[in-house]
Amino acid sequence: MPLEAGLLEILACPACHAPLREETADEENPELVCEGESCGLAYPIRDGIPVLLVDEARRPA
């Protein structure tokens, strides 16, 4: 289930404050990915709710 466009406009990466983009390569595991060049953390979306905790984020490969 995609997030509302208005919500994506106000969300930012908690680590570097860069904008986030929704990425749904796998429909079972959607993520919000940081667009910051030096960050790139991927935050999970669980049950339609973004989990914006740095400890829960996946580091870029």
The answer to whether the beta carbons of residues 7 and 17 sit under 8 Å apart is no
Residue 61 has pLDDT above 90, yes or no: no
Token pair 């910051």 in the structure block, residue: 36
Better pLDDT: 29 or 19: 19
Q: In what order do the strands lie in the sheet with 20-23?
A: 20-23, 31-34, 42-46, 49-50
Residue 1 has a pLDDT of 60
Residue 16 has a pLDDT of 96
pTM here is: 0.86
- When mean pLDDT is compared across 7-11, 17-21, 34-38, the lowest value belongs to 7-11
Residue 32 in 3-state DSSP? strand
Better pLDDT: 39 or 7: 39
Element (H, E) at 54: none
